[in-house]
Structure 1
Amino acid sequence: MAVEAIDLVKDYGEADNVVHALRGVNVSFERGRFTAIMGPSGSGKSTLMHTLAGLDSATSGRILLDGADITTMNDKQLTLLRRHRIGFIFQSFNLLPMFTAEQNIVMPLTLAGEKPDRKWFALLVDTLGLRDRLNHRPSEMSGGQQQRVAIARALISKPAVVFADEPTGNLDSSSSAEVLEFLRRSVRDLGQTIIMVTHDAVAASYADRAIVFADGRIVADETSPSAERMNDLLTSQRRRSAAMAPAPTMAQLMDVPVPPQGAPARHMRQNDR
C-alpha cells in the first residue's frame, strides 16, 4: 500500500461547536493506481486528502505513508517527507510566472539543492508532451499546458504518492480531458500513485477507483467507475444530506428581512433570495 488510514478521526472546534470532519475512516490506497475521492460540499473529502498528505494533523488514528507513520512525525520530518515522498497538483497550477516550464518542473529539486535525474526528466517531458514548451513561461502556455507542467513538477522527485486537489477545476472540458488522460498515463506508463479530490463525475471516471464521502465517512467504493454511476451516487448523497438537514427554527425564519411593501425584489440582499 502507498497510503493507509487506520481509524482516522479529525475534529475541528470544541464542545458544542465541534465539527466531525472524519469519523473513524479506514481506507487503503494501492501503489500504481489512480483513485478519485468525491462527495458533497462539506463531506470531508478535502480534509481526508490534507490529513493523508500531512498538511493537517489527525485528532486520532494512524496514517501510514510509504511505510512511515506520519502521525508520529514532527514538523521538520513532515516537511522532509512532503519534499521527497509526496507530490502535489493544485487547481490553480501554482507555477512561478518568471520561470520557464523547465525551471518550474525542476523547482522542487532546486529548492532541495538536488539535481534532477535527466533520464526521468526526459521521460516525463515526452510522456506529457512538453518537449516543445520547455522554454516557455506560464503566460505563454494554455491552461492545459500549464497543468501538464504542474504534473511534471509533482512527479520530478519520484514521489511515493501524488495528491491532486481539483486539478481540472480551472480548465475547459477539452483541457480537462487532456490533463486527466495525462494523469491516467502517468499511472499506467510511469507507475505513479495518484489520489485526486474532485467534484466532477466525468473526472472520476478516468480513475481506477472512486470513493464517495458523506458526513466524514466512506459511503461508496467503486472499481472502474463510470461517470453515470458516480453522478447517481453523488445525487443520492446530496438528496440524503438535504433530507437530513434540520428545518429552520421560527427564530431563523423571523430573522429573514422582508422588503418594504411595493419594493422591487432586487433591493433584497443576494443571500436572502
Structure 2
Amino acid sequence: MNIERLRTPFFIIALVAMALVVCVELGEHLIVGGFDAGTALTDQAAGAGLQVPAGGQVERPAGLGVPYLALVDVVALFTVALMAAGLVVPAKLQGRLQGIVTLVFAVLLVLAAIGLLVLAVAKLILMVTLLLAFPFGTIAYLIGFGFFPRGTATVILSLIMFLKFVFAGSLAAAQQRFLQNKGLVALVLTSLLCTVAVSFLHGVVPGVLASITDAVAGIVCAVAAIVWAVVLLVGAVVGIVTAAKATADEARSTALAVAT
C-alpha cells in the first residue's frame, strides 16, 4: 500500500464505520430479543385461525440473520485493521507477522462459522418441524417463534447498510487503488449482498414465518463466512511459506557475505 498517497482521515473513517457495523450486529439481540410480544403474537395467531393459550408471557425471539452478518463483516474489519497496522508497524515486521495472525484468525473464524451454522440449521429444522405438526406443534411454534420484530430489524439493517456505504465510500476516497484490489472489492460486495439477502428474507414471507427465513439468512451468512475464512486460510499459508523462504534467502545471503 502506498502510504504517501493514503488519505488517512478517510481511512480512519472507514475503519471506524466497519467497527460500528460489527458492534451493531453483535448487539442486535439486545435490541430485538427478550421483549414482550404477547399482543402481536395473539393478533398474528388470530389471523392464522389459531388461538394461543393465555396466561403466559411471550418474548420476542432473538434473530440469527443480523448477528450472523458479523461473521462476514469481521473479515472486512480484520482486513482493514491489517492495513491500518501497516501505518504504525514496520513493513518488515508486518510481513513476518501478517501471515501468522491471518492464519490464527482464519482458523478461529472457520470454527465459529461452522458451529453457528450447525446451530442455525438445528433451529431451522426445529421451527419447521413444529410448524408442520398441526395443531399443537403449530401453537408451540407460534408461542416460541411466531413473532419476529421485522420493523426493528429493518431499522437496524438500514443503519448497517448506511454504515457499510460510508465504509466503502471512505475506503475509496482514502486511496483509489483500493478499487483495483479485486479481493477487497469482492469482500465488500459480499458484505453488501449478505445484508440485502437478510433484509429480503425478512420481508419475503408473512410475519409469522419470518423467524424461519431469518434462520435461512443466518445459514447464508455462515456459509459466506466459511468461504472467506478458507480464502484467508489459503492466503495465510501462502504468505507464511513466502515469508519463510524470503527469510531463508536473506540468511543465506548474509552468510555468504560474511564468508567472503
Question: How would you bin the TM-score normalised by the shorter chain?
Answer: under 0.3
Task: Considering fraction of residues, name the structure with more strand.
Answer: 1
TM-score normalised over the length of structure 2: 0.25
TM-score normalised over the length of structure 1: 0.24
**Higher Rg of the two aligned structures:** 2
Task: Considering fraction of residues, name the structure with more helix.
Answer: 2
